[in-house]
Structure 1
């Protein structure tokens, strides 16, 4: 027995250290340099859901994806990695931070904290799409050949020049990729050196949460020596790194056709923790065709020249022959690509179950076939590290059109940069929204949902989240019913059940110092007052002419000429003075008698204003149902009540109008609501119009103007009216998504969100505290009253907490 054999018998076979298998040499300026002198950079991609895109936009995206692939130079490797991870602590941390206001009240802080605690207990997943871009030395050239050394110049100078040349080549590739991603409409962010290091280090050392700071990386040692800090054990059917088990599943047989829909289904079927890896290597056309011809000849010889028929070689020959025929017939680029999924689990049994699920997903992928790649799991494990894309040997030749159908470039939109409100998706991803997102041209929104879909609950949920975010967020609700009473009680808001009483009277005319602060009248404010007077004076269906608007504005300005505070009687007198030259002015003056000395005079012909400093004010107009003229006027007079709030640009304001469509269903009402939308936009405000019927809303004269100015749409489950959603700027794929929305009373409601040009299907699944703040269910009301009766001394917050504990 030799010494080597004896040593192996005692100590086992000698296994090279993990570092020797890593293609990591150094790192700097956002570029990872490999031992083979390849250079890799990484991008994080912000994806949109192509399945919700307009079909024409989706077709254009596919065309641009092909252009992206065709623009790549030869001998470049791209690796698309979709990381699927359990939980989303970063999003929750960001939400906490962006909603942490030092002046927030106790309930607001409690709402934020309870949301976060509930989310941390739920099943959540985070999907992150990364693109690794790797360039290789041209023709395999390196600065020094081991056979013919270059002694003419100092080695330091030779290597420095080579490094500068390689970095220049890689920078050019980075520029091409960035420009093409932009043309695709994808937002991308290049990862810096620390982020690249984190990607590699955390993958190689899954149990080390602290990471490796870039400042601790020594330039005297290779990066691979410092990155591999966890023992790795390779087995036949898995790889074990620390306490984590990994197994790779490779694409063994291509699907019959390549279509983005298949890639979407494959991605949807993946659950934490796993990585989808799609590797693309661009080929030199002439060299690739020559290589294919050679392989085709070999397979033909094996298939037909042997004593026994080789069916595998025959099948391979047919595939290569078809590919060569197609290459000759088209001008498409040729690529080599591979597709695999790396599955991670904490124990072998869970790993086995997860692997079986992934294999089943491959079978659903248009008759594709996956393989649990035994004896290849180690290479597939390393394949998730930048610069290691070529390690998957199960590669296929593919052309541009087919390859574009595999690219994993569709995903759920992650939401606004500032995550002021958090929603979940049906798959458990978090979406953060900011109602005042800077990317929105206007902040106005629509909320649609039939009775029982959770419309009132969802509106309360949105408004409560908005109020909890900052004490400088104000809300005014105009309602016909009691859907917002609980919200007002919870946040200490002012709830006004308006009736025909002096208690709810006020002067609709703002002081001169507010309407003309520098001597010049605010045009929108004067126009609004003239329309308001028209609403008081005209019968339903009558419109106001341009001439009438002119003399009404003249009368209003004349009334302000000598007064700081103007009343309706002052304007009536000015109209009477104008009646000589404007006969129609007398008709207006006469009609105003009802609103000055008549039964409504005590409401609006008076000095003084409602003092509504509270940041939440709810106007409930239900008690005015028997006075429809007064109800309609009061609806629009509310703008005068909140004028001081509107003018304060420091405050963010949401004005929620629930089922208000009947108030702007004539010409004057239409102009009044359009004026309100315009004014709110000018003064940092947003109007949310809420309706249970798309048809009722669309039948109003102001519908087109409101929809055109509403860049946010929240749509819940609808019983009917789906065919009308296209008029709300939803495309056919978005309408289909609305048809599939689900809801479960007292548990969740699906919510389609159109946010500017983005769209996502979210889910409102409240924590217990949110539930008891927002519920409008009659049974819940009985339960709440019982708890209040049993605990008379508890504060409002304590009552809500007690209810939440019992849910």
Structure 2
């Protein structure tokens, strides 16, 4: 480094133009005023070519509404860690050991995972009104008021500030409205947001050690100038860099735009996640005459190069581009802009800053061969030019003349989906940014979810990963499964596991005790169950008289037989109705219904439907395994219909969040009566603060006409695992584009490290990575060798509970095991046993 010119902190504050706030607008001492927004950029990851072209047209339309005398600064920030981790830490679980699991998750992301966070800001600065060769309004006010009384000065100043506030309000509102047309969400910055942003930019090391909220925790000072309030650091200027708050800082500017302009021209730079940086794109609309002269001069230079005798393809390309640009401006097809593109980066020492610069130069060249210029002898102006309202400091030397189509390719409006602001579950993007997920996110139209994937792709793993996290919101959970995939999870969470068998101890009783009157909806569902039991196989519906007496018997059951709320009690009600009837046909009908019902009471499913031990859903987690139900007649369909009725009643009458999961049980749901109950469950899930998760390995399950409408249309959350065979059907069912299908084909997995899924959460479609701690991996695994190893450990250490088993296995085999490693892993367990 060459000899420095040191500036202490007090002088640093005087280098800044920031004066006062009025409402949420930042006033500069030269009369400019700045409004700020934080933007949620658009994810292009799953956009089709047509969608990209449409978005490009929307951005062009946005540029065309930028008024004169207004400069925009788009600031794209990349920082390590993520605020979503802090939000994730705010939830607690009912079990203390699970709180430890979540702390391990946060620590894992902080220490073992490469986590980054991107933010996009937009600063809109209004230049004071002035005419050519005239002073600004603010300058004239200061000259006129010289020597006036303080009261008069204050009154005139406030009048001017109110006028400027009204102007910036209308401009900011116009910009925000234009952003909304592109589906870009804009949150207006407050005074605190401005202070926090400037504090972090001007005091980078201090902000790491003393966050803004702590530094200004007791701040009540509204009288100080903004620049004095937020500057604490010293500044040292050198020819090639400057030192601010003990970090070495450099700025790099774009001196030549990408040769091929598109929405993704700068994506190599925007997607890097190896070091923090700021990218600032300054844009100011101007009249075409202001830049035509420069463009023609540049065109003539390139024309001379092309006719110099030696073929120069680059010059020919530049000449053609310039000629098209000039033609577009002359014909009025494009709007003229002055646009700057600056990259601010920093490091702790010379070696680190040199390495970052080398990587940055390589990345810039990958952006369609754009060319960069490292700033020298221009500090601190080039850095201050990236701060809010600082565009004029770089306009003359670094702003390039451009047309709207060229400016579009530089705007950093693209981010990976951030997901829910208050995450219950965390995923990662391919750019190592966290994405929050909450099934009850208010932005979602429906809270239900679909999980689809072929056998062995990890559907049950993903489901258990989600369910485990749902304990953080104290959700009540009901799982309906075939095969026992959730037995371990149920044991871990202290739930009730019900293994339904035709000759087992547990029975299904749809007749629940009620505190009030029998609701019409519940009465209809009970009547539907009974009708399904007493009608002949293949018969569509009973006649109206039969349906009437079924409802009448159920009402009688609840009125006079409260101590016999079961099928045997209903049988007695049919007999009682027969005795009370004076019509022989009605008596015969009631006796016939009683006889048909008795076939179920005394038949093969008798113990399942009329046993003494009735299942209930009072526990926080209840898992019902249907594997033991024999395919006898309509028994499976009736069991599923009763379950659906019980679940819907539970959802309607229990407070708090509820999660219902159906895993591969769709063959039992083909009956229209059961489908009707499910339709009600899916349609009213969000209103009832519940979420239904549907899992299948065959899309045909969701295309059954009796349930298709319920599931597909009422599920705003879809998780798709890697598949190739089902891609055509996926495209048809979920209306996916070619790019989304390619993403699904390319999903990756590293067992024990991460697995990828394609998530469609509301409007956000992207690839999500499930990255877990070793403990969560072993808890959710369904990999046969790993389950065998756990059983072997349980055999040798019978005194250990499930949590202890998982803790030991995750500590010794953090990434799981393969089939080839099973025997060696067993040997490790044996040595532990001694």
Could you tell me which of 451, 456, 471 is aligned with 1:452? 456
Partner of residue 108, structure 1: 98
SS of residue matched to 2:462:
helix
1:569 to partner: Cα distance: 4.1
Which residue number corresponds to residue 4 of structure 1? none
Structure-2 residue corresponding to 1:768: 774
Q: 1 CA distance for matches of 2:465 and 2:302? A: 68
Displacement of 1:627 in angstroms is 4.4
Greater CA drift, 449-458 or 575-584: 575-584
Query: Which of 191-200 and 57-66 deviates more?
Result: 57-66
1:430 aligns with 2:434: yes
- Deviations along 1:152-171, whole A, 9 cap, x unmatched? 97544433332222222112
Aligned mates of 1:262, 1:585 — CA distance in 2: 77
Supply the distance in 1 between the matched residues of 2:163 and 2:711 (Cα, whole angstroms): 57
Matches within 5 A, 1:452-471: 452-467=456-471, 469-471=472-474
**1:24 aligned onto 2:3:** no
What does residue 242 of structure 1 align with?
Answer: 245
**Deviations 1:74-126, CA, capped at 9 Å, x for gaps:** 011111111100111x22221111x136xx22233222222222122121001
Match in the other structure for 1:63:
57
Change (3 A) 1:495 1:293: closer
Aligned residues of 1:205 and 1:229 also touching (Cα < 8 A): yes
The answer to whether structure 1 residue 251 and structure 2 residue 254 are counterparts is yes
**Correspondence for 2:713 among 703, 708, 719:** 708
Q: Who is 1:6 aligned against? A: none
- Indicate conservation of the 8 Å contact 1:528/1:675, yes or no: no
* Aligned position for 1:797: 803
Q: Note if contact 2:32-2:128 (Cα within 8 Å) is conserved in structure 1.
A: yes
Provide the alpha-carbon RMSD of the alignment: 3.6
> Normalising by structure 2, what TM-score?
0.85
> Greater shift after overlay, 587-596 or 405-414?
587-596
Deviation at 1:207, TM superposition (A): 1.2
1:161 corresponds, among 159, 162, 173, to: 159
For residues 559-598 of structure 1, the aligned pairs below 5 Å read 559-564=557-562, 565-572=564-571, 577=578, 580=585, 590-598=595-603
Instruction: After superposition, give the CA deviation of every residue in 1:544-587 in whole Å (9 maximum; x if it has no partner).
Output: 37847666445534544433343324545666859936999887
CA distance 1:174–1:164, shift in 2 (3 Å) = same
Task: Report the equivalent of 1:143.
Answer: 138
Q: Distance in 2 between matches of 1:582 and 1:245?
A: 96
Q: 1:704 to 1:634 in 2, by over 3 A?
A: same
Please show how residues 207-286 of structure 1 align to structure 2 within 5 Å: 207-209=205-207, 210=210, 211=212, 213=216, 222-283=225-286, 285=287
1:621 has 2:626 as partner: yes
Counterparts of 1:349-428 in structure 2, within 5 Å, are: 349-376=351-378, 378-392=380-394, 393-428=397-432
Instruction: Structure 1: give runs of 5+ residues left out of the alignment.
Output: 1-8
SS in 2 for 1:621: strand
Pick aligned residue for 2:609 from 579, 592, 604: 604
**Mean alpha-carbon deviation: is it higher for 214-223 or for 274-283?**
214-223
Moved more, 39-48 or 557-566: 557-566
Moved more, 351-360 or 706-715: 351-360
Q: Is the 8 A contact 1:542 1:667 kept in 2?
A: no
346-355 or 572-581: bigger deviation: 572-581
Report SS of the residue matched to 1:387. Answer: coil
Structure 1, 533-542 or 270-279: larger mean CA deviation: 533-542
Once the two structures are TM-superposed, the CA of residue 30 in structure 1 deviates from its matched residue by 2.1
**3-state DSSP of counterpart to 1:731:** coil
* Per-residue Cα deviation, 1:162-200 (whole angstroms, up to 9, x for no partner): 222222211221221222223332222112112211211
Whether contact under 8 Å (2:273, 2:431) holds in the other structure is: no
- SS of 1:52's equivalent in the other structure is coil
Query: Aligned pair 1:738/2:744, yes or no?
Result: yes
Judged with a 3 Å threshold, the aligned counterparts in structure 2 of structure 1 residues 61 and 206 are, in CA distance, closer, same or farther, namely same
Correspondent of 1:533 among 530, 534, 559? 530
Q: Is the 8 A contact 1:38 1:135 kept in 2?
A: yes
CA contact (8 A) 1:664 1:700 kept: no
Separation (CA, whole Å) in 2 of partners of 1:497 and 1:750: 32
Aligned to 1:126: 117
CA distance in 1, matches of 2:120, 2:103: 29
Could you give the per-residue CA deviations for residues 344-363 of structure 1, whole angstroms, max 9, x where no partner exists?
22232232232232222222
CA contact (8 A) 1:479 1:657 kept: yes
Which residue in 2 is equivalent to 1:198? Answer: 196
Cα distance, 1:638 vs structure 2: 2.3
Corresponding residue SS for 1:410: coil
Partner secondary structure for residue 779 of structure 1: helix
| CA distance in 1: counterparts of 2:347 and 2:750, whole angstroms | 32
Greater mean alpha carbon deviation, residues 240-249 or residues 619-628: 619-628
Bigger mean CA offset, 177-186 vs 418-427: 177-186
Q: Residues of 2 paired with 1:618 and 1:521: CA distance?
A: 27
Hey, what's the Cα distance between the residues in 2 that align with 1:633 and 1:758? 39
Could you say which residue in structure 2 is the equivalent of 1:3?
none
Cα distance change on mapping 1:573 and 1:54 into 2, 3 Å = farther
Cα distance in 2 for partners of 1:735, 1:637 equals 39
Report the alpha carbon displacement of residue 662 of structure 1 after superposing the two structures with TM. Answer: 1.0
Give the match's secondary structure for 1:580.
helix
Deviation at 1:320, TM superposition (A): 5.8
Checking the alignment, whether the CA contact within 8 Å between 1:355 and 1:372 is kept in structure 2 is no
User: Counterpart in 2 of 1:648?
Assistant: 653
Taking structure 1 as reference, are residues 117 and 243 closer, same or farther at Cα in structure 2, changes over 3 Å only?
A: same
- Contact residue 30 and residue 139 of structure 2 kept, 8 A: no
Q: Give, in angstroms, the shift of residue 802 of structure 1.
A: 2.2
Specify the SS of the correspondent of 1:262: coil
Give the SS at the match of 1:196.
Answer: helix
Q: Structure 1 739/608 Cα, relative in aligned 2: closer, same or farther at 3 Å?
A: same
**Post-superposition shift, 1:498?**
1.6
Residues in 2 aligned to 1:239 and 1:276: alpha-carbon distance in whole angstroms: 18
Please point out which of 19, 37, 42 is paired with 2:36. 42
Count matched residues. Answer: 782
Q: Kindly tell me: are residues 522 and 442 of structure 1, through their superposed partners in 2, closer, same or farther at Cα, counting changes over 3 Å?
A: farther
Moved more, 418-427 or 136-145: 136-145
Residue 327 of structure 2 is aligned to residue 325 of structure 1: yes
Q: TM-score, normalised by structure 1?
A: 0.88
| Partners of 1:678 and 1:580 in 2: CA distance | 40
Does structure 1 retain, via aligned residues, the 8 Å contact 2:299–2:323?
no
Q: Deviations over 1:657-679 (max 9, x none)?
A: 10011112343443343244346
Q: Quote the Cα distance in structure 1 between the aligned partners of 2:707 and 2:788.
A: 39
The structural deviation recorded for 1:208 is 0.9
> Matched residues in 2 for 1:263 and 1:591: separation?
73
- Deviation at 1:339? 1.5
Change (3 A) 1:608 1:275: same
The answer as to 2:440 corresponding to 1:441 is no
Paired residue for 1:117? 107
* Superposition map of 1:493-512 within 5 A: 493-511=495-513
**Structure 1 residues 44-64: Cα deviation after superposition (integer angstroms, max 9, x where no partner):** 112341333566655544333
Cα deviation, residue 530, structure 1: 3.0
- In 2, the alpha carbon distance for the partners of 1:587 and 1:208 equals 84
| Contact 1:84 1:128 (8 Å CA) reproduced | yes
